[in-house]
């Protein structure tokens, strides 16, 4: 089975030269990787600075739902797509922490899908001590994908990223990941029906590195990884991709 590996560079690295070097390292390091689809999501200015590569797709980390107009500082899905990106990460917890709501995320997802972008919806609980944590994730999926047309659902990806695992060195137990991936799949089934729901990749993200990556990739129903910190090290990220 082909796995999806997404490098979320966040607001890194600091210069065009460093971005090109990191990208070149990933291109080199992942050469010959089998059964892997690789996406690099750099800061938007670097989308134009990175060379086109037929093996590695580019993605954005955010976008705005309107096509154009008086929206100072925003960037539309059409613009992202025009820069050559094929993917968009939407609803990352770091954006939710800045005030992005499910209603906003829903509009962004629809805008991205209408612009033919593969949309990577990020969901995840803040804290496992809340006994309703599964329900919280379900509510996010239902609200963020509300009224997404079935004809666009084949371009959806869902990344399960528990907030407590992002950048902390803590990771989810494989058994718990299996449970959550199954639970998310069931929710997708309610929304889109069985055949579509089975086609939507469910990724794991949160403190993934080359050592722990196989633990998550071996979980049934997990279609790949969303990698933050470790994707800023070309060798580490390449080792994650080559793990399968
Ligand atoms: P991390 O980030 O791998 O640094 O934990 C993952 C993410 O935020 O997507």
Place of tokens 């210069």: 15
Q: Please give the helix or strand (H or E) that residue 113 lies within, else none.
A: helix 102-114
Walk along the chain (244 residues) in steps of 10 and give the mean pLDDT of each run: 95 98 98 95 97 97 98 98 98 98 98 98 93 94 98 97 97 97 98 97 98 97 98 98 84
Q: How far apart are CA 125 and CA 131, in angstroms?
A: 11
Burial 192-219 (b: 16+ CB within 10 A, else e): beeebbeebbbbbbbbbbbebbebbbeb
Q: What is the torsional sign of CA 59, 35, 189, 164?
A: negative
Q: Is 100 among the catalytic positions?
A: no
Q: What is the torsional sign of CA 86, 91, 94, 95?
A: positive
Q: Ligand 1 mean position to 161 CA, how many Å? A: 8
pLDDT of residue 129: 86
Q: Ligand 1 mean position to 102 CA, how many Å? A: 20
**Angle, nearest 10°, between helix axes 174-192 and 133-144?**
40
pLDDT of residue 131: 80
Instruction: For residue 209, give the ligand 1 atom closest to its CA.
Output: 3
Instruction: For residue 208, give the ligand 1 atom closest to its CA.
Output: 3
Q: Give the other-Cβ count within 10 Å of 130's Cβ.
A: 11
CA angle, corner 68, sides to 144 and 99, nearest 5?
40
pLDDT of residue 20: 98
pLDDT of residue 86: 98
pLDDT of residue 173: 97
Residues 6+ apart with CB under 8 A from 84: 47, 48, 52, 58
User: Considering 74, 92, 135, 179, which one is annotated as catalytic?
Assistant: 92
Ligand 1 test: best mutation among 8, 42, 122, 124, most atoms within 8 Å of CB? 8
Instruction: For residue 94, give the ligand 1 atom closest to its CA.
Output: 8
pLDDT of residue 42: 98
Q: Please give the helix or strand (H or E) that residue 219 lies within, else none.
A: none
- Protein residue with its CA nearest to atom 1 in ligand 1: 228
Give the pocket of ligand 1 (CB within 6 Å). Answer: 8, 161, 166-167, 205-208, 226-230
Q: Is 161 among the catalytic positions?
A: yes
The answer to whether the CB of 27 falls within 8 A of the CB of 53 is yes
Residues 6+ apart with CB under 8 A from 9: 19, 22, 40, 41, 42, 43, 46, 61, 231, 232
User: Considering 94, 100, 131, 161, which one is annotated as catalytic?
Assistant: 161
- Protein residue with its CA nearest to atom 2 in ligand 1: 228
Ligand 1 test: best mutation among 162, 208, 213, 233, most atoms within 8 Å of CB? 208
Residues 6+ apart with CB under 8 A from 32: none
Instruction: For residue 6, give the ligand 1 atom closest to its CA.
Output: 9
The answer to whether the CB of 60 falls within 8 A of the CB of 48 is no
Q: How far apart are CA 118 and CA 109, in angstroms?
A: 9
Q: How far apart are CA 9 and CA 39, in angstroms?
A: 11
């Amino acid at each position: 089975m082909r796995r999806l590996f997404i490098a979320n560079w966040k607001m890194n690295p600091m210069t065009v030269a460093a971005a090109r070097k990191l990208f070149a390292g990933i291109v080199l390091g992942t050469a010959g990787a089998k059964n892997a689809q690789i996406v690099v999501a750099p800061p938007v200015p670097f989308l134009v600075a990175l060379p086109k590569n037929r093996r590695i797709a580019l993605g954005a980390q955010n976008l705005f739902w309107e096509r154009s107009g008086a929206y100072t500082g925003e960037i539309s899905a059409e613009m992202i797509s025009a820069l050559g990106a094929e993917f968009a990460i939407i609803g990352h917890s770091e954006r939710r922490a800045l005030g992005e709501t499910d209603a906003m995320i829903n509009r962004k997802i629809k805008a991205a899908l209408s612009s033919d972008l593969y949309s990577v919806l990020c969901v995840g609980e803040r804290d496992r001590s809340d006994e309703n944590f599964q329900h919280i994730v379900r509510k996010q999926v239902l609200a963020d994908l509300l009224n997404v047309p079935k004809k666009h659902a084949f371009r959806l990806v869902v990344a399960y990223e528990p907030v407590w695992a992002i950048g902390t060195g803590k990771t989810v137990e494989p058994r718990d990941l299996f449970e959550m991936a199954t639970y998310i799949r069931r929710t997708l089934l309610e929304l889109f029906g069985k055949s579509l729901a089975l086609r939507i990749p469910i990724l794991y993200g949160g403190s993934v590195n080359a050592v722990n990556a196989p633990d998550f990739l071996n979980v049934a129903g997990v279609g790949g990884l969303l990698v933050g910190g470790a994707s800023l090290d070309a060798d580490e990220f390449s080792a994650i991709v080559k793990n399968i």
